[in-house]
Amino acid sequence: MDAQVLGGALQGISCEKDVLIEILTQRCNSQRLMIAEAYRDMYGRDLITDLKENLSHHFKEVMVGLMYPPASYDAHELWHALKGVDTEEKCLIDILASRSNMEIFQMKEAYLMQYNTDLQQDIDSETSGHFRDTLMNLAQGTRMEGYADPSTATQDAMILWEACQQKTGEHKNMLQMILCNRSHQQLWMVFQEFQNISGQDIVDAINECYDGYFQELLVAIVLCIRDKPSYFAYRLYNAIHDFGFHNKTVIRILIARSEIDLMNIRQRYKERYGKSLFHDIKHFASGHYESALLAICAGDTEDY
């Protein structure tokens, strides 16, 4: 039924955008994939192709983005971040600093299938320095999971402290090795030991000692380990307020997190910044694009 309604909305005299929003934002990803399959059977056409042909600008990006499986969407975003006119380092940071081993494995498989090239090779060729090395480490997807050893937490914290003091290439390598490979449980203890040793929070120390995208990536890893929804709330706030509404970032985070932790992100956003995510999107976006973003954002309209 959804496929039939979408067909009517897309193939009529004028595209009925409200109908597209009503259906595609209110179905989960697995349902949208089934709708796309039914659409192909019914019309002999690809739904994504028809969306691209009938829509434009940021509204098209939202509607098409919703149609990708999560791993394929990550792969799509990484490809464009790496192969666009300018490398979009912040996109690489958002995705690779926040995904689990399994998500990274699935993303690499999708990347290879969609673009017939290896993600790590593209990172290697399109980025540089310690930023590249850290991305490459994350893209291996080999972080230890569920393992914590209090006896080595102090040792790791000492290594991090020395890395922040010495700042040599070798120390930078040790820093990123620990942040990229230790389990989240282990790193919680390491961060606490770092505070005990240095009297300073690890994020403050990184911000003082390093700069550029390497520093941003290290901070993102720490923040994602501590509280992923808070990290994405912070990224959304910056994208909305600091960049005059950075559309790509807002779209990517809303779509990628919509079935994972968007409700928690919304909660952190309101707690930290005083106004709801819904309010800020409504203030800066407009038209069907605004309606689509708000429909994904969803929920708790009485608070807005």
Are 49 and 110 in the same domain?
A: no
79 within domain boundaries: yes
3-state DSSP assignment of residue 100: coil
272 within domain boundaries: no
The residues, ordered by sequence, that sit 6+ positions from 127 with a Cβ below 8 Å of its Cβ are 82, 87, 89, 92, 135
Q: How many domains does the chain have?
A: 2
Are 62 and 84 in the same domain?
A: no
126 within domain boundaries: yes
Residue 109, domain CATH? 1.10.220.10
7 in Cβ contact with 39 (< 8 Å) = yes
Are 78 and 31 in the same domain?
A: no
94-144 pLDDT, tens digit each: 999 999 999 999 999 999 999 999 999 999 999 999 999 999 999 999 999
Q: Which of 95, 121, 139 is a domain's end point?
A: 139
Are 59 and 115 in the same domain?
A: no
Are 101 and 60 in the same domain?
A: no
Query: What is the band of 250 on the pLDDT scale with cuts at 50, 70, 90?
Result: very high
9-27 pLDDT, tens digit each: 888 667 888 899 999 999 9
Q: Is 8 annotated as a binding residue?
A: no
Segment 238-267 mean pLDDT? 93
269-279 pLDDT, tens digit each: 999 999 999 99
Closest CA to 292 of 42, 61, 67, 120: 61
How many helices and strands, by DSSP H and E, does the chain display? 19, 0
Residue-number span of the structural domain to which 21 is assigned: 2-66
Are 102 and 48 in the same domain?
A: no
* Rounded CA separation 67/20 (Å): 12
201 within domain boundaries: no
Report CA-CA distances (Å) from 295 to 76, 203, 277, 300.
23, 34, 12, 12
112 within domain boundaries: yes
